[in-house]
Amino acid sequence: MQRASRLKRELSLLTTEPPPGITCWQNENQLDNLRAQILGGADTPYEKGIFNLEIVVPERYPFEPPKIRFLTPIYHPNIDSAGRICLDVLKLPPKGAWRPALNISTLLTSIQLLMAEPNPDDPLMADISSEYKYNKQLFLLNAKEWTEKYASQ
């Protein structure tokens, strides 16, 4: 019950006061299956891109983090080809930094920040990570190309 009322509150807040560049809604009236869109930030290779994400809220939420993945392909060192995201707030301690005080809005904002500032030292995609570290121009070119190919409307 706690989960349902908290999710309703979070969704209502996401609807009335969404973080800039982020939208989130229920998928097919299921409270535990959400969709989100993140707009690529200005001055990033993802600029003008619209990235769709899937959010699956576990039974034990908020004591366990939602599972979030990109549905839109994105060229990024911390996001793999299946859309999985390497981000500490998406994992439970001791490896992760999830705590029940966090919410879906904070997670989406953290993902948006990760898009703007990749963490090449904790990569899911080693090849993209080394490109980011050692050949940033090529990385930016590839990321921009993917954004135009997969994330433009």
Question: Which residues form the catalytic set?
Answer: 86
* Interacting residues of 21 by C-beta distance below 8 A, sequence separation 6+: 38, 39, 41, 112
- One-letter amino acid at 148 equals E
Residue 109 and residue 87 in contact, taking contact as beta carbons nearer than 8 Å: no
Measured from the Cβ of residue 109, the count of other Cβ atoms closer than 10 Å reads: 17
